[in-house]
Each structure stands twice: as structure tokens, then as C-alpha cells.
């Protein structure tokens, strides 16, 4: 029996010394495995005299049970130690401040367009949209541009074919409306316009315009001035002044340019927002409108100029660069 006692002691000693699950597994195989030393003892049973076998068998079985027990408890200890190390490595620091969710917002030009729409809808104007890819007919011909007129040079654009071009002015919507609707009416539109332009701080090749077109009985310059005055006050505040100076556009008579000034901005300097005038009778007559009875006004304004003026932005290219540091200032 000394043999079994020694083996047990040795096994328990080695199990205790195993300092990792991997090392423990090796000890287990060495003593408890199929080819292990305890099994080897069992195999010796057959070579013993018959009367010694039961006692020897019992002793070996007891040793095996105790070694197994010692293995199990060591296994538990090592397992929980290893888990602890693993948990520590995987631990999340829940006291770290989380990243702020980034909430999107509307682009400053969209905010401006929303406000423009609010003002004109409030004045009883109906909102319409027409195509960016426009025909020569609506963009120029129907707007009284004589062939080879110098006014074309100011509005060179991107041609897709001889007849199809990227519209240069929202005023192109007038012919499309007159084809479908009879006066009295008030329409406005906002959209993207394009010109073959030397890009600088106040000129883009792509920009936005808002155009309005009103035809009714007795519409005069007084209505136009009142509407644009009210528009300016809605966008820039009560202390804004508006200025109209004679200007030429083939589709209005008389034509004016429209500028605003407020003491708050750019030291009260005048900033031109767009052009305006009374609709040229030739345009209305082309669509069968009785110009003895009806007259109209029209204007077209640059959208970018509005937030430039309102926020003191000195370069229109900021609006298109999509730099969040710039865009996040507006809400």
C-alpha cells in the first residue's frame, strides 16, 4: 500500500503546484489519464495473488477518487482565476463619458429657402417648380431675347444640345406658366440656376434664385415695391431700406435693380439682391392675355445673397464646400 500512498501524495503535490489550467491538464493526464500512473496500478491488479486483489483494488480506487477530487477543486480555483484575468482585460469603463450623438440640421441655404417660402405663401403666392434642364425657348426666346442680343453674353451656360441648357434664370418658369394658367395669378419658384461664370466671392457657376410672377388687373410698380419692401423687412428686420434703380431686362418694362441696406450690416452699404419690373406686354400677348385689362410684375433674386447679407458671410463658396465648421453655425 505504500506504493499507492506515495503515488497519491505525488499526484496531489503536483496538482497543487500546477499554476495554470494548461499545466493542470498535463498533471491530470499524467495521473488520471488512460495511460496515466493510476491506471497503470490498476493493470498490476491481475498479477497479484487472488487474496490481495480486493484490498489493492479498493485502495487504488480510493486514491483515484481523492486525486480526482483534488483535481476538481484545483480546476475550479484556476478556472476562476483565469476568468478574473479575462474579465479584467475585457472590462468596459462605464464611467467614461460617451460620444455625443451628432444631430443633422438643415443647410443654411435650405433654411433661407424655407423662410422665403413662408413669406411668399403668406402673401398668397402659389409655389411651383420647373426643370433645371430647360429649353432655349423658355429660358430666352419667350423672354424676349432678340437673337444676338448682348444680354446673352451675361448668361452663357452649359448646353446639352442646341436647344437644351442648364437654366440661367428662374424667370424661365413664366412661359411654362402662361401656357397653362390664365390670369389673375401669383406664382413663385425657388431653384438652382447655372451660368458659365468666372467664379469669385460673389459669383458661382451654380447658385439659387427665387422668382415671382404676378398678373392681375391694375398691377403696378407700387405693388412691386410694396411686395419687395415687405419681403426685405421679413428677411432682414424692420430697419432695412430698399432701393430701386432703372435697369434693363428684355422681359420687363420698366425694369429695375433691387438693392437693400441696413445699418447693421456691411456698414449700411447697398447690396444688390436682384432684378424686377413690370412684365413686358409682348410676353403676355404672346399667350393671349389682354394687356388692356391685365398687367403684371416679376422679380428674380439671388438666394445666396440673402444669408450673405443676413450673417455677414463674405464668400459664397462657403455655402457649397460642406465644411461642417461653417454649416453648424446656422440653425
Residue 62: count of CB within 10 angstroms of its CB: 12
Q: How far apart, in Å, are the Cα atoms of 219 and each of 6, 122, 125, 211, 277?
A: 119, 19, 14, 17, 11
Out of 36, 175, 277, 307, the residue judged to bind ligand FA5 by CB under 6 A = 277
The answer to whether 190 contacts ligand FA5 (rule: CB under 6 A) is no
Nearer to ligand FA5, 169 or 261 (CB): 169
Contacts of 325 (CB under 8 A, 6+ apart): none
Contacts of 240 (CB under 8 A, 6+ apart): 232, 233, 260, 261, 262
Interface mask (CB under 6 A) for ligand FA5, residues 115-154, using x and -?
A: ----------------------------------------
Determine how β-strand 133-135 pairs with β-strand 164-166. Answer: antiparallel
Nearer to ligand FA5, 14 or 142 (CB): 142
The answer to whether 275 contacts ligand FA5 (rule: CB under 6 A) is yes
Residue with cell 431700406: 241
Q: How many Cα atoms sit within 13 Å of 196 on the Cβ side?
A: 9
CA distance 50 to 48: 6
The answer to whether 112 contacts ligand FA5 (rule: CB under 6 A) is no
Residue 303 beta carbon to ligand FA5: minimum distance, rounded to whole angstroms: 8
Nearer to ligand FA5, 176 or 305 (CB): 305
Give the number of residues written for the chain: 331
Of residues 38-57, those binding ligand FA5 (CB under 6 A):
none
Out of 299, 307, 309, 313, the residue judged to bind ligand FA5 by CB under 6 A = 299
DSSP helix/strand/coil, 14:
helix
The answer to whether 191 contacts ligand FA5 (rule: CB under 6 A) is no
Out of 141, 197, 216, 253, the residue judged to bind ligand FA5 by CB under 6 A = 197
The residues with which 208 forms a beta bridge, in sequence order, are: 192
| Selected range binding ligand FA5 among 6-14, 22-30, 120-128, 247-255, rule: CB under 6 A | 247-255
Residue 271 beta carbon to ligand FA5: minimum distance, rounded to whole angstroms: 9
Q: Which residues bind ligand FA5 (CB under 6 A)?
A: 169, 171, 195, 197, 203-204, 207, 209, 211, 249, 252, 255, 272-277, 298-302, 304-305, 316
Amino acid at each position: 500500500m505504500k506504493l499507492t500512498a506515495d503515488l497519491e501524495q505525488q499526484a496531489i503535490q503536483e496538482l497543487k503546484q500546477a499554476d495554470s489550467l494548461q499545466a493542470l491538464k498535463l498533471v491530470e493526464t499524467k495521473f488520471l489519464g488512460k495511460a496515466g500512473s493510476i491506471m497503470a496500478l490498476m493493470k498490476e491488479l491481475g498479477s497479484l495473488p487472488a487474496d490481495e486483489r480486493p484490498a489493492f483494488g479498493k485502495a487504488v480506487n480510493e486514491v483515484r477518487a481523492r486525486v480526482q477530487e483534488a483535481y476538481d477543486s484545483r480546476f475550479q480555483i484556476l478556472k476562476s482565476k483565469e476568468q478574473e484575468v479575462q474579465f479584467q482585460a475585457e472590462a468596459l469603463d462605464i464611467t467614461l463619458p460617451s460620444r455625443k450623438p451628432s444631430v443633422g440640421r438643415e443647410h443654411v441655404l435650405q433654411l433661407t429657402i424655407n423662410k422665403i417660402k413662408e413669406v411668399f405663401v403668406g402673401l398668397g403666392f402659389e409655389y411651383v417648380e420647373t426643370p433645371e434642364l430647360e429649353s432655349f425657348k423658355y429660358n430666352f426666346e419667350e423672354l424676349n431675347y432678340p437673337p444676338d442680343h448682348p444680354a446673352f453674353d451675361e448668361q452663357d451656360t452649359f448646353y446639352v444640345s442646341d436647344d437644351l441648357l442648364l437654366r440661367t434664370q428662374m424667370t424661365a418658369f413664366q412661359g411654362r406658366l402662361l401656357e397653362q394658367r390664365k390670369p389673375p395669378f401669383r406664382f413663385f419658384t425657388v431653384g438652382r440656376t447655372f451660368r458659365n461664370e468666372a467664379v469669385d466671392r460673389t459669383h458661382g457657376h451654380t447658385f439659387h434664385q427665387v422668382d415671382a410672377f404676378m398678373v392681375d388687373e391694375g398691377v403696378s410698380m407700387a405693388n412691386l415695391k410694396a411686395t419687395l419692401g415687405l419681403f426685405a423687412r421679413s428677411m432682414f428686420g424692420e430697419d432695412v431700406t430698399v432701393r430701386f434703380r432703372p435697369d434693363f431686362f428684355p422681359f420687363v418694362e420698366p425694369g429695375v435693380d433691387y438693392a437693400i441696406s441696413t445699418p447693421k450690416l456691411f456698414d449700411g452699404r447697398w447690396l444688390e439682391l436682384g432684378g424686377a419690373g413690370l412684365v413686358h406686354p409682348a410676353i403676355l400677348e404672346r399667350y393671349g392675355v389682354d394687356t388692356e385689362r391685365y398687367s403684371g410684375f416679376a422679380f428674380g433674386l439671388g438666394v445666396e445673397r440673402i444669408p450673405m447679407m443676413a450673417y455677414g458671410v463674405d464668400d459664397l463658396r462657403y455655402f457649397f464646400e460642406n465644411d461642417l465648421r461653417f454649416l453648424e453655425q446656422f440653425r
